[in-house]
A and B are shown apart, each in its own frame.
Chain A
């Protein structure tokens, strides 16, 4: 029964999420936007670390470059912010090429440190970009939100202020990005490339011996997740409306929390980041009044999960119940065997 019900529940939840700007207060939409941002980042990091074995601590590079490319597109080229978001994604993917060139020479912990260093170099380089405010950053020009495509239509449809309409638009886009990420990850991991990736994760040497090219597959994942992370970063900063190198390239905001979410939810499992982000959000709300205690609790929970449930809460759940609505397993074909031999 639960098997036939779960898609219905998922569809209902999705419908509620899409309807939210029409029925919920603006603060809640903004809140959820932040959560969805972390979800998209976590899904990307999960693909990298959980499936491709690339434990990157430099994902903030792509968020920052996506954000700055979007600002450049608006301020320097006068383009629509939504076009800027796409440019942000492309810029991040382009930056990923030289980054991969250096970082892929490193393995494991060295790769992690290497990506972090590259991200910080990017932060320092962007701080020199005077046209975008240098180290102090810059804001979106006044009226950017008003002139953004679709905002007028949404304003009329929901009967809200321009700012709320812009929030609704970015929220819908981020929600759609999250859904697209989930669907794309599922299709990718079920594909030939995804199968090869899982083989590499289990034994890289053996994978090579059956014809899998680890470098090619890892590079593909690195570039694709850089693109999605760049899109996400650009979109996030439309809503924030102000960018500084420190905020856009923050390792805490864009990578540390994301690692935490993925690890407690279930690294290397598809629904893990969703579970993780729900837990993260619940903790954030419950502990919002306690200041630093909140971070301490997060840290302790993260350690506990790493020690006692290495595949996270979702891994624990599937191990206990056997329920897995998004299975990545390939089942053998049912061959109708002839009863007589020819």
Chain B
């Protein structure tokens, strides 16, 4: 059974159709990349999956269960974790506490177990040394890592990553990709919106192209990238 399914999901903001009849299935442990020009409706698609935005039409299923009307908090508990495109740390809390909130609420862990779990994630994401620093004082790379680490602390079975590699140097990007690959290797399903294509294509098994809210194509990254239509729309290359 698919872990996440969208069935003909549509959403308009006024006259603008930002998500137009999108359907796809994500298998447990699968990694799916989403690309598309700015304004193609990628982040909106995430908000529809997390429940921050309700669709006008269509359904969202988690483990075959219809969660179209389920509030975001319950979807987190059900296993959907997300990172934000623009990092949104809890600035006055420490890095460790940022994760602890996620582990105790979304992850459903308690007491010492939650603490040990969070420290383990911090070590794996390279945030161990700044665990007791206020999250408000972190650098961009550290904030991006915190987004990933905090999403991991909710113990997701599907993790949604929104342009997590954007704005990083090549070296930083390589480290982050290694961490994401490790998460994927443990069996967590991933849906990843990214403009940094080499990073994305080194992890995902399938690639979806969105354009004006419509799903243009979905398939193996090589095939999708080779498509003339995609090259024209997304990369601006005349076919």
In contact, A330 and B92 (Cβ under 8 angstroms): no
* CB of B84 closer than 8 Å to a CB of A: yes
Given contacts A199-B101, A330-B96, A331-B132, contact A206 B90 (CB under 8 A): yes
Contact indicator per residue, chain A 197-215, by CB within 8 Å of chain B (1) or not (0): 0110111011111111100
In contact, A210 and B105 (Cβ under 8 angstroms): yes
In contact, B132 and A206 (Cβ under 8 angstroms): no
- In the complex the two chains form, what is the Cα distance from A113 to B93 in whole Å? 30
Q: Given the complex, which residues of A lie within 8 Å of B88, measured CB to CB?
A: 203, 205-206, 209
* CB of A105 closer than 8 Å to a CB of B: no
Q: How many Å from the CB of A218 to the closest CB on chain B? A: 13
* CB of A329 closer than 8 Å to a CB of B: yes
Q: Given the complex, which residues of B lie within 8 Å of A192, measured CB to CB?
A: 104-105, 110
Q: Given the complex, which residues of B lie within 8 Å of A11, measured CB to CB?
A: none
In contact, B92 and A202 (Cβ under 8 angstroms): yes
Given contacts A199-B90, A211-B154, A212-B101, contact A332 B115 (CB under 8 A): yes
In contact, B119 and A333 (Cβ under 8 angstroms): yes
Q: How many Å from the CB of A283 to the closest CB on chain B? A: 30
Q: How many Å from the CB of A106 to the closest CB on chain B? A: 20
Q: Given the complex, which residues of B lie within 8 Å of A331, measured CB to CB?
A: 96, 132
Pick the residue among B100, B102, B122 that contacts A330 (CB under 8 A). Answer: B100
- Interface stretch (choices B29-37, B72-80, B229-237): B72-80
Chain A interface, number of residues (Cβ within 8 angstroms): 23
Among A203, A208, A209, A332, max chain B CB count under 10 A is at A209
* CB of B153 closer than 8 Å to a CB of A: yes
- In the complex the two chains form, what is the Cα distance from A196 to B93 in whole Å? 11
- In the complex the two chains form, what is the Cα distance from A335 to B112 in whole Å? 10
Given contacts A210-B105, A211-B102, A335-B116, contact A329 B90 (CB under 8 A): no
* CB of B91 closer than 8 Å to a CB of A: yes
- In the complex the two chains form, what is the Cα distance from A88 to B77 in whole Å? 38
In contact, B76 and A210 (Cβ under 8 angstroms): yes
- In the complex the two chains form, what is the Cα distance from A330 to B118 in whole Å? 12
Chain B interface, number of residues (Cβ within 8 angstroms): 40
* CB of A306 closer than 8 Å to a CB of B: no
- In the complex the two chains form, what is the Cα distance from A241 to B181 in whole Å? 71
Q: How many Å from the CB of A237 to the closest CB on chain B? A: 38
* CB of B52 closer than 8 Å to a CB of A: yes
Q: Given the complex, which residues of B lie within 8 Å of A206, measured CB to CB?
A: 84, 88-90
In contact, A209 and B96 (Cβ under 8 angstroms): no
Contact indicator per residue, chain A 216-237, by CB within 8 Å of chain B (1) or not (0): 0000000000000000000000
Given contacts A203-B91, A333-B116, contact A211 B77 (CB under 8 A): yes
Among B93, B98, B112, B118, max chain A CB count under 10 A is at B93
In contact, B97 and A195 (Cβ under 8 angstroms): yes
Given contacts A196-B105, A333-B116, A335-B116, contact A209 B72 (CB under 8 A): yes
Q: Given the complex, which residues of B lie within 8 Å of A335, measured CB to CB?
A: 116, 119
Smallest CB-CB separation from A329: which chain B residue?
B94
**What are the 6 tightest A-B residue pairs by CB atom distance, in nearest-first order?**
A211-B106, A211-B105, A202-B90, A211-B76, A210-B102, A206-B88
16 A-B residue pairings within 8 Å (CB atoms): A195-B100, A195-B104, A196-B105, A198-B90, A199-B101, A202-B93, A203-B89, A205-B52, A207-B90, A208-B72, A209-B52, A210-B81, A210-B102, A210-B105, A210-B153, A333-B119
